[in-house]
Amino acid sequence: MQQVQRLAVIGVGLIGGSFALKLKQLGLVNEVVGCGRNSTNLNKALELGVIDIAYTDPTLAVAGADLVVLAVPLGSIAPIYQQIAPFLAPDAVVTDVGSAKASVIAEIAGLLGECPAQFVPGHPIAGREQSGVEAADSELYQRHRVILTPLSHTNEAAIAWVHALWQAVGAQVSSMSATYHDEVFAATSHLPHLLAFALVDMLNEHPELGNVFQYTAGGFRDFTRIASSDASMWRDIALQNHSAILKWLDAYQAELAKLAQLLQTQNGAALQQLFATAKAARDAHIVNRTS
């Protein structure tokens, strides 16, 4: 596989840091340039050996890089792409790690006139409660999925290279359209996050019930774990993928209306059927993976 000569990681945290760390371990990268606004964090990344060179200015960081990973918050991907574009080497491949894809692609196309053929949109499905470069872990991507959502005009060699690199760090890589990606993740990730935030928000200091959290146990803790996710990250996701999320939120509200109807009519048989089908589906498909 083609080694990365100079990898520029824009946004050195858990996601970008873990990718760089594993490529280094595998000898698949010659030099890692890290870029971030926070120099304390960059010094930490240098100390930990995640990066070799640090910049706070992305236009300097990408100079001479053959691979650029945009591991910044969703709302900053396109603006930073616009900022670095004039400084990229002509053959440099750019990829990102945003959890919504169609909006990022459209925003980049809007700012740059068209979506560059050298840009391979990506989304690693790996996150942890801890974030920041201190949490970077060369094994983060083992047995995790990475989704690529290239466009029809995306450079084939660029796609293949990004695909191979993610595979090398341990990920199982799939490709799909940005639209399908956004629907799937609206339904399976973005919607559940909103549902968990909404439940905790509703119950928090409820005037009628008082502090009900004291009576909760493991079921509630697991159900709401994702409500401890970063608020500004989820604001960005909610805004960027709002139309797909609204569609699935709407479908879910219809599902709840059906459930309310079954409760109102005390239809025990239909309730049991619904629960049993859900349980069977989950037991069949959701392995109790440890991550």
Instruction: Find the angle CA(154)-CA(160)-CA(164) to the nearest 5 degrees.
Output: 145
Greatest extent of the chain over all pairs of C-alpha atoms, in Å:
68
Q: Which residue lies nearer to a copy of itself by CB, 55 or 185?
A: 185
By CB under 8 A, tell whether 230 contacts a copy of itself.
Answer: yes
Strand (E) positions, 49-171? 53-55, 67-70, 93-96, 119-120, 122-124, 145-148
By rule CB under 8 A, what string of x and - marks binding of each residue 71-110 to a copy of itself? ----------------------------------------
Q: Which stretch binds a copy of itself (CB under 8 A): 38-46, 91-99, 150-158, 245-253?
A: 245-253
Query: Least distance (Å) from a copy of itself to the CB of residue 270?
Result: 9
User: In this structure, what are the phi and psi dihedrals at residue 94, rounded to the nearest 5 degrees?
Assistant: -120, 135
In the list 113, 152, 207, 263, the residue contacting a copy of itself (rule: CB under 8 A) is 263
Taking CB under 8 A as the rule, does residue 226 contact a copy of itself?
A: yes
251 touches a copy of itself by CB under 8 A = yes
**Closer Cβ to a copy of itself, 1 or 231, answer by number:** 231
CB of 147 to a copy of itself, least distance (A): 7
Q: Does 278 bind a copy of itself (CB under 8 A)?
A: yes
Name the amino acid, one letter, at 179: T
Nearest approach in angstroms of CB 239 to a copy of itself is 5
Q: How far is the CB of 268 from a copy of itself (least distance, A)?
A: 5
Helix (H, G, I), strand (E, B) or coil at 252: helix
207 scored as a contact of a copy of itself (CB under 8 A): no
With respect to a copy of itself, which residue has the nearer C-beta, 98 or 116? 98
Choose the binding region for a copy of itself from 15-23, 78-86, 105-113, 188-196 (rule: CB under 8 A): 188-196
Closest CA to 248 of 199, 179, 185: 185
Distance CA 266, CA 77 (A): 50
Residue 37 in the binding site for a copy of itself (CB under 8 A): no
- Give helix then strand counts, H and E, for the chain: 12, 9
Q: Is 219 in the site for a copy of itself (CB under 8 A)?
A: yes
Determine, following the binding rule CB under 8 A, whether residue 157 of this chain makes contact with a copy of itself. Answer: no
Give the separation between CA 41 and CA 273, rounded to whole angstroms: 52
**Residue type at position 4:** V
Report the distance separating Cα 26 and Cα 22, nearest Å: 6
Closest CA to 146 of 189, 176, 186, 190: 176
